Amino acid sequence: MALHETKDARARDAETDVFASALSGQILPKYRMPDDHSPSDVVYELLHNELLLDGNAAQNLATFCTTWSDDGVHRLMNECLDKNMIDKDEYPQTAEIEARCVTILADLWNAPAGTTGTGCSTTGSSEAAMLGGLALKWRWRERRRAAGLPTDRPNLVCGPVQICWEKFARYFDVELRQVPLEPGATGLRPEQLAAHVDENTIGVVAILGVTYTCVYEPVAEIAAELDRIQAERGWDVPIHVDAASGGFVAPFLHPDVVWDFRLPRVASVNTSGHKYGLAPLGVGWIVWRTADLLPADLVFSVDYLGGNMPTFALNFSRPGGEIIAQYYLFLRLGKAGYRRVQQACADTAQYLAREIEATGPFTLLYDGQGALPAVSYRLTDPAGAGFSLYDLSDRLRMRGWQVPSYPLPADREDTVIQRVLIRHGVTRDQIALLVADLRRAVEHLTATPQPVPATEPRPGFHH
């Protein structure tokens, strides 16, 4: 095509209805970059339509992550699109706001009086877990070296952790000692620790909001057991609390649960800003009890207002908007606002738990009280129900609901459960509609027994 013809064609395209344009009459290029450009409104509309196949995030009851944000967040995210949070020198106010958020979280988690908060933002709890694990490993190695002891076999002890801890262990060469679930248990039990902890244990990870069951592990009892082990064997084993979800729930709904820096043994805590922190996707946080718990040789300096600023991170460039949005939410909601939002979620979760129990074939593992705003349950009689939870997930999916089914971790992998998370933006009315769909699905599946109930996990759900 000659150049002027191409120009004419493009000019015509600009006046054409999006869905009558040349591009919308074709299958989109999928594996090779197209040779030429196309009108932005057409490309936008076509991609927008393709993305509808992802399903509706508001009906995704599998995710812990934020799926609703107010206008203030949308506007600030837009305004911060060009800010790189690592450029502390160019964007000193973003750096300042990050430091304020760390101090706010240290205070929320009862860091010792007089400390300002040692910590940083991350891309999420996974990166925060890597940083927390590295600090534990470094400090254990320093102690061992100082005592002239071998440093080649570090281990980390935990219960049914999220996959990020398995990654930490593999990437950074630490043996992961995952304590199996006892019959009837929904998390690590303190009395199991003695059989797994030894002189090479860099730390114990306690989870505030187990991803499988949504309960809190008993951090205070775990700390007391480690005190006892120290008195008996001399090993001083620190705790890192993975509070990915619970770090923004417990301070507001369960202030009497002692899990944070009130326990001297808790060295560090991580949380996901983009889960119950209510910030948009892409921000997590880690805070150490005191500055000396973060080994100096893990920290690098970057330029900052002519001086320099310590950083500890796995990546370099990263967007600054999520950090600003987090601070906006702290200011916008305050403690009372966070409490009301989380309480509304917890009330809805407890309502759902009552309805599920009343529906018949289910036994609750977690009823939404005392930990995360969520519900988990299993079939009371999996062999006699005539259908599996996987069948039920499929049936609910026909109405757009994403409710995951999956087996519990070892040693309870024979138990398949379903989990529903109630987040900011999931309403009581919406959950009432889910309950109606759930009842219809159970009636259908009971009336039409599944010849071979599906027993395999479907891919793609959050564990």
Q: Which of 80, 164, 239, 442 binds ligand PLP (CB under 6 A)?
A: 164
Contact 43, 24 (CB under 8 A): no
Provide the H-helix boundaries in 215-310.
219-233, 250-253
Minimum distance between the CB of residue 433 and ligand PLP, rounded to whole angstroms? 26
Q: Look at the chain and count its residues.
A: 463
CB of 281 to ligand PLP, least distance (A): 9
Residues 335, 229: Cα–Cα separation, whole Å: 37
Segment 102 to 131, residues that bind ligand PLP, using CB under 6 A: 124-126
Q: Which residue among 69, 118, 162, 268 contacts ligand PLP (CB under 6 A)?
A: 162
Nearest to 206 by CA among 182, 234, 187: 187
Please state the closest distance from residue 421 (CB atom) to ligand PLP, in A. 10
Nearest to 99 by CA among 114, 120, 124, 125: 120
Q: Is 60 in the site for ligand PLP (CB under 6 A)?
A: no
Apex 212 CA angle, 124 and 246, nearest 5:
50
Considering only residues 325 to 364 of the shown chain, the ones binding ligand PLP according to CB under 6 A are none
Report the residue from 225, 242, 260, 391 that binds ligand PLP according to the rule CB under 6 A. 242
Q: Which is nearer to ligand PLP, 101 or 392 (CB)?
A: 101
Nearer to ligand PLP among residue 154 and residue 209 (C-beta)? 209
421 binds ligand PLP (CB under 6 A): no
Q: 10 Å Cβ neighbour count for 429?
A: 9
Segment lying near ligand PLP (by CB under 6 A), choices 152-160, 238-246, 352-360, 381-389: 238-246
Q: How far is the CB of 71 from ligand PLP (least distance, A)?
A: 24
Determine the size of the site formed for ligand PLP (CB under 6 A): 14
Q: Is 211 in the site for ligand PLP (CB under 6 A)?
A: yes
Q: Which is nearer to ligand PLP, 155 or 245 (CB)?
A: 245
Q: Which of 187, 209, 277, 404 binds ligand PLP (CB under 6 A)?
A: 209
Return the number of the residue (245 or 418) whose C-beta is nearest ligand PLP: 245
Helix (H) or strand (E) holding 463: none
Least distance in angstroms from the C-beta of 121 to ligand PLP: 12
Taking CA atoms, 312 is separated from 286, 302, 317, 369, in Å, by 10, 10, 13, 36
Nearer to ligand PLP, 278 or 379 (CB): 278
Shortest distance, position 209 Cβ to ligand PLP, whole Å: 6
Instruction: State the residue number with the nearest CB to ligand PLP.
Output: 124
- In the complex with ligand PLP, the residue whose CB is nearer, 64 or 109, is 64
Q: Which residues pair with 177 in a beta bridge?
A: 157
Buried b or exposed e, range 373-408, using 16+ CB within 10 angstroms? bbbbbbbeebeebbbbbbbbbbbbeeeebbbbbbbb
Which residue, 73 or 207, is less far from ligand PLP as judged by CB?
A: 207
How many Cα atoms are found within 13 Å in the side-chain-facing hemisphere of 435?
A: 20
Q: Which is nearer to ligand PLP, 40 or 317 (CB)?
A: 317
Q: Minimal distance in Å, beta carbon 214 to ligand PLP?
A: 9
The contact pattern for ligand PLP, residues 22-51, with x = CB under 6 A and - = no contact, is ------------------------------
Single-letter code of the amino acid located at 186: T
In the bound state with ligand PLP, the residue whose beta carbon lies nearer, of 80 and 206, is 206
d(CA 142, CA 389): 49
Q: Which is nearer to ligand PLP, 319 or 361 (CB)?
A: 319
Cβ(326)–Cβ(99) below 8 Å? no
Answer for the pair 323, 85: CB distance below 8 angstroms, yes or no.
yes
Choosing from 284, 321, 361, 404, the residue that interacts with ligand PLP (CB under 6 A) is 284
Stretch that binds ligand PLP, among 83-91, 241-249, 250-258, 432-440 (CB under 6 A): 241-249
Q: How far is the CB of 129 from ligand PLP (least distance, A)?
A: 6
Q: How far is CA 90 from CA 75, 94, 196, 315, 435, in A?
A: 21, 9, 48, 18, 51
57 — phi, psi (to 5°)?
-60, -30
Residue 109 backbone class (left: φ over 0; alpha: ψ -120 to 50; beta: rest)? alpha
- Beta strand 201-207 with 155-158 is parallel
What's the CA gap between 156 and 178, in Å, rounded?
Answer: 8
Q: Please report how close the Cβ of residue 286 comes to ligand PLP at its closest, in angstroms.
A: 11
Residues that bind ligand PLP (CB under 6 A): 64, 124-126, 162, 164, 207, 209, 211, 242, 244-245, 272, 284
